[in-house]
Structure 1
Amino acid sequence: MFPTRPRTGLFPHLALAAATLVLPLSAGWAQTAAPASGTSAQVAAPTPRALASITPAEIEAAVYDGTDLPAGQSALTAKVQILLDRAGISPGVVDGWRGGMSESAIMAFQRRSGLPMTGRMDHAVWDLLQGYAAAPLTMAYTITEEDATGLVDRIPSDYAEKAAMSSQGYTSVLEKLAERFHMDEKFLAKLNPGARFQPGETIHATVPAKPIRASVTRIIVDKETRRVAAYDAKGNMVADYPATVGSADTPSPHGNHVVDAVALNPTYTYNPHRNFKQGENDRVLIIPPGPNAPVGNVWIDLSEPTYGIHGTATPSQLFLNQSHGCVRLTNWDAWELAHMVKPKVTTVEFLPPGVRIADVTGISPVAAATQTAAVAAIASTRPPARGDRLPPAAPAAVAIPAAATMAEAAAATAAAVVTPEPLVITPDVPASNEPLVPEAAPALPVQEEPEYPSDAVLPESLPGQAPGSVTLYPQAGQP
């Protein structure tokens, strides 16, 4: 049973499950999955190859060859991750590794585009992603004195030591810049061999996507694929993020809930008398805020007591960790989502086991298969820049009889198939070598003014509480 959440006046006193405790996860969820256990004669899979180094030119020039993404780490995968981020489909960190988060992002992109959801790169995905490739993917950046401020020597694990600190800040310029550019620290270092990451030094980095500014009224949490999708009032998906979602011992809640409030840069209140005891700490401790705090730099409070959506100090480990029931995103994804939700309006749906986002949004694998023949129509105009993330529909005046005929035939075939399992059709080769995206981009339509356009309308703290602070209680009975 979860502890009750006290309330003061009209505003909730936020609580938190012990979402910050990091537990090891089975190898099957790792970014690069280990082989399944079998007989003693089974031969272990080779270790995926890591890049010794990488250059900006290699990322910019990477070209898809018609097969799946290379195993291990590659410039092509890094390029795809950057383009997915620009498309509003977060790959987590940009690290060049083909693995769980990258494949889940490709599947989310396929889901939104009406393609078969395989999680594998193909010509349709690659050609649609080219609509986001007009701007450079990498850039030069000169480190400033400000980049080197606010750092801490280390982040201890003991809560008493954490509470004695003035901040749970970044531990290095490298860590700080990696989060700013949506990159893995090791990958940023590989892009800059020999760099010392000191003020005045010019380095290379990938170009991060600009934050999405829209009004999110519906969030769907998919426990099976570990994705969190955000939708506006018209049912358009505006963003999709990878997440750590609960665990077998302390699962996330079920059903529908509402966003109660948002806190940026929250403090963390450790109370051993209410919830759990860590080590020899037997008194209430206030852990200061910062990106390396137990809930990162964002807390989105839910109407279900003790649960929320928040950031993390280890963005590259989202698919390797478990949480104690809460939903954990990268700090930058959580920050972006916090500026789009609307307290008391935005709903959060936790899907039950076996149910995925496509099942509740009307885009099932069968429906996606019938839309494969209409890819040419979907890509008849270049996908717009980050803002409207839905692939544009074909103009009404343009007649595509062949695609329409093929779509009708595919629909009839799918309807005739009787099977309890979803049907996924994946062509071995593309139907045509002709690019799906034209070289010339048409003028973009005028975008509607978002209802939540800037940081000015998002409070730095909750009403009735100290600036930047919120009390966060872990779940009862957790060690």
Structure 2
Amino acid sequence: MHIHTRPLSLSIALATAIAALPALARPTQAAKPAPAVQTAPAAQAASAQPRIDNAPAPQAMAAPAQHPVQVPAGAQHAAQLPPNGVADAGAATAGTDANAPSAAETERLLRAQVLLDRFHFSPGEIDGAYGSNMRQALAGFQKTHDLPPSGKLDDATWTALNADTTPTLLDYTLADADVAGPFRPIPDDMMEKAKLPALGYATPEEGLGEKFHASPALIKQLNPGKNLARAGEQIRVPNVVGTPALAPAARVVVSKDARILMLQDAAGKLLAQYPASTGSEHDPLPIGDWKITGVARNPVYHYNPKLFWDAQPGDKSATVPAGPNNPVGVAWMDLSKPHYGIHGTPVPGLVGKSESHGCIRLTNWSAAEVAGLVHAGTDVVLQE
């Protein structure tokens, strides 16, 4: 992939899009958490894939885009915000609020999020806004670079992040697979989900958001006037591809209070960090030491309403098909604690901000990455 940097002056379209980013509202009302998965007994063979509710192993199906993505064939050039993340001094400010971030400040946040993701300190959905997930990502990054873990994007942290000079944005040409679908609305009702042949993406921008670790709203705002459903269309996306591979993890540590999942090596060194949803009042995180007993990708989901305090009246046991909008997303890591696991989610914008039914919920791209770095027997520590 050939990379070049953009001139200091941003295009009017991109500057307008960036200026609008603070208006991207994070969800403020927690959606109903996805039910926890029922798993097979922990005594299953370590080499076997986990089975859900003693059902056959997860169905084979065409896998959705896995993460972290490799450099896509359509990624020909890199589109760059200014290397220092600062736009022209005359760039329009975002919104009419005198306290709202300027376009330059928002660009800096966007670049910081991309760089954090590249360093494997995920800020969750990349959206150009500063929130709790980014604060935790910054704090984790700071700890590994001997900086005060303030969670703030101070000058020293900005300098350390910018050691990676990779451009912020990537020019990407939409491939046939990106727009093939089928795209369909995903019903909220579990019984209606079970009637569908698969739980794929609702829109092309949802799939692109997961592929490039971004909110669908950001994908649209970075590409005004672009047809996101047309193969061959060239668009701009966060440059999260081609990052160095991580070594397998010796230990998974989940912090309930910080709402993060951390991967550590055998010496306890922090390798990666991800935002996570970690239980609720009704279904608390099972604090203690556990082990991963198996890993499944693209699992089907066996829903048993008897296990859930908030099941809808009239719900019956159902098999929910696989796909990125499956209640457990694209990956399930079974824990030795019965009925609990680490998994993806169809609502990445709520990770770290909503509750779960006791399981550890990650974005789909984070769950897919973690699933490739753990195995049956990996230690899992769930702590306050």
Specify the alignment match of 1:332 in structure 2: 365
89, 102, 125: which one aligns with 1:93? 125
How far does residue 281 in structure 1 lie from its aligned partner after superposition?
Answer: 4.1
How far does residue 70 in structure 1 lie from its aligned partner after superposition?
Answer: 4.6
1:138 and 2:169 correspond:
yes
Shift of the 324–60 alpha-carbon distance from structure 1 to 2, 3 Å rule, reads same
Specify the alignment match of 2:269 in structure 1: 236
Contact 1:311–1:329 (Cα < 8 Å) also in 2: yes
Contact 2:193–2:320 (Cα < 8 Å) also in 1: yes
SS of match in other structure, 2:305: coil
Specify the alignment match of 1:115 in structure 2: 147
Gaps of 5+ in 2: 1-36, 55-77, 88-99
Opposite residue 168 of structure 1, the aligned amino acid is: L
Specify the alignment match of 2:336 in structure 1: 303
How far does residue 212 in structure 1 lie from its aligned partner after superposition?
Answer: 3.2
77, 82, 85: which one aligns with 1:62? 85
286, 289, 302: which one aligns with 1:256? 289
154, 161, 185: which one aligns with 2:185? 154
1:182 and 2:205 correspond:
no
Deviations 1:178-211 (A, max 9, x none): 1101111111111011222122211111111437
Specify the alignment match of 1:316 in structure 2: 349
Shift of the 56–96 alpha-carbon distance from structure 1 to 2, 3 Å rule, reads farther
Opposite residue 247 of structure 2, the aligned amino acid is: A
What is the alpha-carbon distance in structure 2 between the residues aligned to residue 322 and residue 127 of structure 1? 35
Deviations 1:268-315 (A, max 9, x none): 111235656843545321100011110111101100111111111111
What is the alpha-carbon distance in structure 2 between the residues aligned to residue 350 and residue 175 of structure 1? 31
What is the alpha-carbon distance in structure 1 between the residues aligned to residue 193 and residue 38 of structure 2? 24
Contact 2:80–2:167 (Cα < 8 Å) also in 1: no
SS of match in other structure, 2:273: strand
Shift of the 5–142 alpha-carbon distance from structure 1 to 2, 3 Å rule, reads closer
How far does residue 121 in structure 1 lie from its aligned partner after superposition?
Answer: 1.5
Specify the alignment match of 2:107 in structure 1: 75
SS of match in other structure, 1:230: strand
How far does residue 100 in structure 1 lie from its aligned partner after superposition?
Answer: 0.9
What is the alpha-carbon distance in structure 1 between the residues aligned to residue 357 and residue 307 of structure 2? 16
1:125 and 2:157 correspond:
yes
Question: How do 1:290-439 and structure 2 match up within 5 A?
Answer: 290-344=323-377, 346-352=378-384
> Which piece of structure 1 moves more, 71-80 or 137-146?
71-80
1:202 and 2:234 correspond:
yes
How far does residue 140 in structure 1 lie from its aligned partner after superposition?
Answer: 1.1
SS of match in other structure, 2:357: coil
Question: How do 1:450-465 and structure 2 match up within 5 A?
Answer: none
Contact 2:324–2:346 (Cα < 8 Å) also in 1: yes
Contact 1:259–1:342 (Cα < 8 Å) also in 2: yes
Name the % identity.
Answer: 36
What is the alpha-carbon distance in structure 2 between the residues aligned to residue 268 and residue 281 of structure 1? 19
Q: From the CA coordinates, give the structure whose radius of gyration is larger.
A: 1
What is the alpha-carbon distance in structure 2 between the residues aligned to residue 130 and residue 273 of structure 1? 51
SS of match in other structure, 1:336: helix
What is the alpha-carbon distance in structure 2 between the residues aligned to residue 333 and residue 3 of structure 1? 21
TM-score, length-scaled by structure 1: 0.59
Aligned length: 307
> Which piece of structure 1 moves more, 55-64 or 193-202?
55-64
What is the alpha-carbon distance in structure 1 between the residues aligned to residue 85 and residue 177 of structure 2? 34
Deviations 1:231-283 (A, max 9, x none): 12233321111111112232101111001100000011112356568435453
What is the alpha-carbon distance in structure 1 between the residues aligned to residue 39 and residue 353 of structure 2? 30
What is the alpha-carbon distance in structure 1 between the residues aligned to residue 281 and residue 310 of structure 2? 21
How far does residue 9 in structure 1 lie from its aligned partner after superposition?
Answer: 6.2
Opposite residue 202 of structure 2, the aligned amino acid is: T
Deviations 1:386-438 (A, max 9, x none): xxxxxxxxxxxxxxxxxxxxxxxxxxxxxxxxxxxxxxxxxxxxxxxxxxxxx
Root-mean-square deviation over aligned CA pairs: 2.7
Contact 1:255–1:349 (Cα < 8 Å) also in 2: yes
